Amino acid sequence: MCYGDVMSERLTEEELNSIRRRVVELKMEHRDLDAAIDHLVESGTFEELRIKRMKRRKLQLKDDIARLENTLIPDILA
């Protein structure tokens, strides 16, 4: 399902709940990545390329979360 251009008032309750669940999943993955990055850095055995990839994934997750959350906000400026 493409969530990008769909206004929340056109989504069914089931679709809205699906988006909410996905946001929770993405936030958990984002938090887990943050903890993993911290652990790698603190252990002193971090690999620069691996951390860069993890940080890039974190940014992608943040963008995905924002995009999905925006679909949940009603378009009141119609």
pLDDT tens string 12-64: 999 999 999 999 999 999 999 999 999 988 888 768 899 999 999 999 999 99
Q: Which residue has the tokens 């008032």?
A: 9
What number of CA atoms fall less than 13 Å from residue 6's CA on the CB side? 14
C-alpha to C-alpha distance for 11 and 52, rounded to whole angstroms: 36
- Amino acid symbol at 43: S
Helix (H, G, I), strand (E, B) or coil at 33: helix
Binned at pLDDT 50, 70 and 90, residue 8 comes out as: very low
